[in-house]
Amino acid sequence: AQSVTQPDIHITVSEGASLELRCNYSYGATPYLFWYVQSPGQGLQLLLKYFSGDTLVQGIKGFEAEFKRSQSSFNLRKPSVHWSDAAEYFCAVGAGSGNTPLVFGKGTRLSVIA
Given the rule CB under 8 A, which residues bind another protein? 32, 34, 36, 41-46, 49, 51, 90, 94-99, 101-107, 109
Distance CA 17, CA 79 (A): 7
Q: State the minimum distance, in angstroms, from the CB of residue 80 to another protein.
A: 27
Q: State the minimum distance, in angstroms, from the CB of residue 88 to another protein.
A: 8
Nearer to another protein, 70 or 99 (CB): 99
Taking a C-beta distance cutoff of 8 angstroms, is the pair 3, 102 a contact?
no
**E strand intervals along 27-86:** 32-38, 44-50, 56-58, 64-68, 73-78
Q: Are strands 103-104 and 73-78 parallel, antiparallel or unpaired?
A: unpaired
Nearer to another protein, 40 or 70 (CB): 40
Nearer to another protein, 11 or 44 (CB): 44
The alpha-carbon radius of gyration of the chain (Å, integer) is 14
Q: State the minimum distance, in angstroms, from the CB of residue 49 to another protein.
A: 6
